[in-house]
Amino acid sequence: MAPESGTRYERDEGVEMHGATAYLDLAAELARAEGRYLLDLATGVLVAQQAVEPSVAAESLSKLAAGAGLAVADLAADIVNGACGAEVEGTDGGALALPGARTRRQVASVAEAGGDLDEVAATLLHELRPVGVAGLLVWRRTASDCLRLVGGAGFAPLVRAQWGQIPPQWRALPRQVLAEERVLWLPQGVADAGDLPGPHPSAARALLPLRDDGHCAGVALAAWHEPQELNPELRRYVVGLIDVFARLLAGLRGVAVPEPSLPVLASALDLLAEPAMTLRRGWHGPDGETSPALYVEHLNAAAHRMSSGVPRPVGRPLAHVLPAVSGELSALVTRAYRHEAVQRAQRLPVERQPNTLPMLNVRVLAVSGDRCVVLWHAEGRDHSFSVLKRAGRLGSLAAFEDDRARGVTQWSDQVALLLGLPADAEPFPLERLTGLIVPDDRPELTGMLESLTIRLEGVNGVLRLPRPDGGVRHVRLIAEPLLTHGTLTGLTGFFQDVSAQRQTQEALAATFDALGSVQAQAALRHRLALQLQHAIMPEQPDLGGLPNLQVAARYRPAAEEYRVGGDWYDVLSLPDGRVMIAVGDVAGHGIDAATGMVALRNALRGLACSGAEPGNLMGSLNEVTLRTGGHPTATAVCGHFDPADRTLRWTSAGHLPALLLRDGHARLLESVPNLLLGAVPGAAYQERQEQLRPGDLLLLCTDGLIERRHASLDDALAMLGHALESLEPGGDLEAQADALLAAAVGDTDDDASLVLVRLT
């Protein structure tokens, strides 16, 4: 299909070079990925030593390996080690219980060949498994002094997600090793499973600083299956192998590392059946350098299938992932930012290319200063006429095909009637349609035929045909050229009667344009945030199986569909047997509040597993809030219930007090007046304690449940206490939660959450 009438494509300077540069980059990467890097090094050494051609040297390498009874890779490692003046491993297969210089050279070659850190970690883990190592993790030191997980092997995705980032404020063991720059050997493991990842707490571990050229670039973790005597020989070997990561991390100092994609937007794109992706402009590297290229930040499943097949496309330049269209798509992105409006193209690449799957109905929308969304349709239909006829039966479509090689035209049954001809009319080529249409539309048809036959482009346009009653029928022509090895051999497509839709076409076009306006963007983002909020805060969560507790929770979204907020609640069973109960509210509405809520709720969940008390948890959450994008502020209350002695320890960050119903009387559990989250750094949060009894009912909620425009907060809390006292003693907890939500007096159209806890 050709671009709409009047459409022009702007090409940035150097756009024509996108494809060539991308192909060269990919060719170099594939050459490194072939696994021949070490063999090529050894062949080069033999070329220099024997003064022979490379082909002769490669053949000599194979013969020498066969004569020595070695694998070619093993002999190659020995040759390269010898040329570098490094240790060369003996071939007697004697007393070495651990792999030596040969293995270290082979592992180093994987790193030097440009393999990513997961591949290098997998190679290292393969060599370390004989000595009991179960998994490896590698953290890189960022410009903000965080430790960011950049590679690993042997650990589940959930563990990698939990340890994905270690901020400076977290006094974790990897931070200690980074600060002291010394190896930490733990033959008997750790005291608590939350101290370090591993198969179980008592399994041996080793944390190694990764130093290169006087700079500590990161930290590596090796975890064994069980307690292990880490003797000096084993320690030397582990350090020698894992030191490969130091050179890799040092090489990454000037490389831009992509930030995580916007969670709400990425989740929404993943729900689409058509291809969609987000692009970033000019990612910043750790040294402050900015690349002018476009990088792929996120691809949904359909877009993955259309990419060039390059491994791990996320994080790569656009020219690597979609080389055939990168230039034209980059120009479209430039226009989207320049005009601050949705940019469209009916087809990319504009000129048909053999063996290239085009992008159809392309739309580019800039959603932030450096992020844009690209949506398109994929062309995957079979051009055979039988398929076209079957497709035509699905709607008011009439298929045709002109076979120019044989001089034959085929019509489906609907074509003749749609063109106002007898049902038995002989099919004729598209050029003869000129005599049937309104004279004013003949130049339009001529232009469409030129696009199909000369420029070899698809077309999509509306033509008018006179009717016997004096009116006109509007017929849409959708056609594509059929090419065989780049030569035009036919035309194929559909006719469609669009007379009824013509009256509303302008209104539909205006509506579609409005979707690209700033207001429509905001509404769409808020709806997506609301869907995400519902997914994270279900109205009927699974809160069963808690020790000595019955729990019911409710969440009520804001009154207006597009208004989303930052309310959250959480009830979590902790590793030490206690139960965390928390309720919070991020200030404001919209996507910023929703994404801030997601960040704080997930952060509190992760911090809670450390075993820290509520006051310390709230202090850490305050620091997370200060470092969350958009700089939100929030209120929260967090408590730990110990089923062993029925003690509730809690703290509050400017949140509403909890209510305790005991023996039919409700009272407030007042907290120390602590600061809200995100106000100032280093805030301390004091705790209070209450001894609970069987039958006690505890209520925690957000202000949206009770806040009224013309009433004080004290009066609203008093009314909520009366509603709590009116509940039937020992009644069904779920029904009581519904009753409290229905009796809520809040009228500010704010979202609201409540958690109801009964001691059994």
pLDDT value of residue 437: 93
Tens digits of residue pLDDT in 374-396: 998 875 433 344 444 544 444 45
C-alpha 481/C-alpha 461 separation (Å) is: 15
For residue 84, is pLDDT > 90? no
> Do 532 and 440 share a structural domain?
no
pLDDT class for 192, splitting at 50, 70, 90?
confident
Residue 258, CA distances (Å) to 148, 247, 318 in order: 12, 20, 13
Domain boundary among 346, 378, 410: 378
Report residue 568 as tokens.
């959250």
pLDDT at position 691 over 90:
yes
The CA-atom distances, in angstroms, between 378 and each of 304, 456, 461 are: 12, 19, 20
Residue 133 lies in a domain: no
Listed residues 378, 408, 429: the one ending a domain: 378
Distance CA 42, CA 38 (A): 6
Of 19 and 570, the one with more pLDDT: 570
Same-domain check for residues 692 and 569: yes
Listed residues 446, 477, 506: the one ending a domain: 506
Distances (CA, A) of 278 to 244, 318, 326, 344, 368: 34, 10, 14, 16, 11
Across 324-350, average pLDDT: 87
pLDDT at 252: 57
User: Would 77 be classed as within a structural domain?
Assistant: no
161: pLDDT confidence band, cut at 50, 70 and 90? confident
pLDDT at position 708, please? 78
Q: Does 649 have pLDDT greater than 50?
A: yes
The predicted model gives 519-539 an average pLDDT of 60
User: Does 501 lie in the same domain as 600?
Assistant: no
pLDDT digits (tens, 9 = 90+) for 265-279: 777 777 777 788 999
Whether 95 has a pLDDT exceeding 50, the answer reads no
Measured between alpha carbons, how far apart are the two ends of the chain, in Å? Answer: 69
pLDDT: is 486 or 612 the higher one?
612
Please report whether residue 750 resides in a domain: yes
Do both 424 and 370 map to the same domain? no
Same domain? 619 vs 714? yes
| 6 vs 667, residue with greater confidence | 667
What is the predicted pLDDT for the residue at 30?
43
Of 421, 419, 428, 427, give the one whose Cα is nearest residue 477: 419
Residues 374 and 394 in one domain: no
* pLDDT of res. 381: 37
- The residues that bridge with 390 in the sheet, in sequence order, are none
Query: Is the model's pLDDT at 286 over the cut of 50?
Result: no
Burial of 490 (0-12, 13-18, 19+ CB in 10 A): buried
**676 is a domain residue:** yes
More confident residue, 33 or 641: 641
For range 718-745, the mean pLDDT = 87
Give the pLDDT confidence score for residue 12 in this predicted structure. 42
Decide if pLDDT at 137 tops 90. Answer: yes
Whether residue 2 is contained in a domain is answered as no
Q: How many Å is the Cα radius of gyration of the chain?
A: 34
Q: Are residues 349 and 429 in the same domain?
A: no
Domain-embedded: residue 589: yes
Q: Domain limits at 718?
A: 525-759
Position 127 scores a pLDDT of 79
Domain count for the chain: 3
Q: Where do the H-state alpha helices sit in 579-696?
A: 591-608, 614-626
Q: Are residues 683 and 626 in the same domain?
A: yes
Residue 338 has pLDDT above 50, yes or no: yes
Mean pLDDT, range 454-479, rounded to an integer:
88
Mean pLDDT of the chain: 78
Q: Which range is most confident: 36-50, 142-156, 167-181, 629-643?
A: 629-643
Domain identity same for 616 and 746? yes
Find the CATH number of the domain harbouring 453: 3.30.450.20
- Domain match, 641 and 532 both: yes
Q: Are residues 550 and 485 in the same domain?
A: no
pLDDT band at 284 (very low <50, low <70, confident <90, very high): very low
Q: Is residue 36, in this structure, part of any structural domain at all?
A: no
Is the confidence at residue 184, as pLDDT, over 60? yes
Q: What's the confidence (pLDDT) of residue 287?
A: 46
* CATH number (domain holding residue 616): 3.60.40.10
Mean pLDDT along residues 45-72 = 69
70, pLDDT greater than 90: no
Does residue 589 contact residue 558 with C-beta atoms inside 8 Å?
Answer: yes
Contact 327, 18 (CB under 8 A): yes
Alpha-carbon torsion, ordered 643, 645, 651, 655, to 10 deg: 60
Answer whether residue 618 is part of any domain.
Answer: yes
Is the pLDDT at 10 greater than 50, yes or no? no
Mean pLDDT for 203-227 is: 89
State how far the Cα of 677 lies from the Cα of 346, in Å rounded to an integer: 49
Same domain, 423 and 292: no
Residue type present at position 127: E
Per DSSP, the three-state class of 367 is: coil
